[in-house]
Chain A
Amino acid sequence: MAETRARPLSPHLQIYRPMLTMLMSIAHRATGAALYFGTLLIAWWLAAAASGPNHYAAVQWFMATLIGRLILFGYTWALIHHMLGGVRHLIWDTGRGLGPGEREWLARATLFGSITLTIVLWIAGLLIVGGGGTR
């Protein structure tokens, strides 16, 4: 290497026209990062369960607040979206589904599937809360 100087960089996000496949790619990374920090909730929940009724009640109280519900709803969607996005990547890893029509279809299916499944899960969850109460 003769000298050190700024190397030319490849164009970044702002140069491309937004496309669904690109947004799904960004969403996959973003949901992955969100789930990363969401594991704090899982660890907190499990540690509280291991610590006793009072700690567990505190977690349940927080999850029932509006902020708690919103975080849980976001976490549910992120988990399902990241999982479906992961399945899409596994399909791509086999060399299938990379054609222009196929990848567009897969992107739509991922988004539609994640939103639908999240809503179905939450309706089921809210029915349990509404019907069963504290058991």
Chain B
Amino acid sequence: MKEASLRTPLGHVRGLGSARSGTRHFWHQRLTSIALIPLSIFFVVLVVSLIGRNHAAAVQILGSAWIAILMLLFILTITYHMQIGMQEIIEDYAHGELSKFVLLIANAFFCIAIGLAAAFAILKISFGV
């Protein structure tokens, strides 16, 4: 800063970390990772149990309320978890301000699109339309 300023050097940089935020992502990543231990096991067991089944049988299983609720929890948790994770990767490796912003925006769009598409599909199967 060439111009005179009354703000201290610390005041200039406070809140300007690579993520523009504090420890919220760190905490949310732990929160989602704890939730994903049982949810991932559920997901793997579900997929294995669906091996070889035809569409009618798969839809019947996926559409039952408890399975659908757990799948929604799984999908929403992984998409949030992966947005934070990929943001961390981008912040580590994208050094230009412009490329970083473009990638962060693409990351958010991708995760929201995947989350919404999967959630919509689960709800559609479950509501049986």
Q: Which residues of A contact B (CB under 8 A)?
A: 1, 29, 32-33, 35-36, 39-40, 42-43, 46-47, 49-50, 52-53, 56-57, 76, 79-80, 83, 86-87, 89-90, 93, 121, 124-125, 128-129, 132-135
Contact present for A133 and B34 (CB under 8 Å):
no
A86 and B36 CA atoms in complex are apart in Å by: 10
Given known pairs A43-B114, A134-B52, the reply for A36 and B59 (CB within 8 Å) is no
Given known pairs A36-B82, A36-B85, A49-B121, the reply for A93 and B30 (CB within 8 Å) is yes
Across the A-B interface, give the 3 residue pairs with the lowest CB-CB distance, nearest first. A46-B121, A50-B121, A53-B55
- Chain B contact residue count (CB 8 A cutoff): 35
Closest chain A CB from B129 CB (angstroms): 9
Residue with the greatest number of chain A CB neighbours at <10 A, chosen from B71, B117, B122, B125: B117
Residue of chain A at shortest CB distance from B34: A90
CB 8 Å contact bits of B87-129 with A (1 = contact, 0 = none)? 0010000000000000000000000001001101110110000
Q: Which residues of B contact A (CB under 8 A)?
A: 1, 30, 33-34, 36-37, 40, 44, 48, 51-59, 62, 71, 75, 78-79, 82, 85-86, 89, 114, 117-118, 120-122, 124-125
Contacts of B117 in A (CB 8 A): 43, 46-47
Residue of chain B at shortest CB distance from A2: B2
Contact present for A39 and B48 (CB under 8 Å):
no
Contact sample, A vs B, 10 pairs, CB 8 Å cutoff: A39-B82, A46-B125, A47-B118, A49-B125, A79-B40, A80-B44, A83-B40, A90-B33, A125-B48, A134-B54
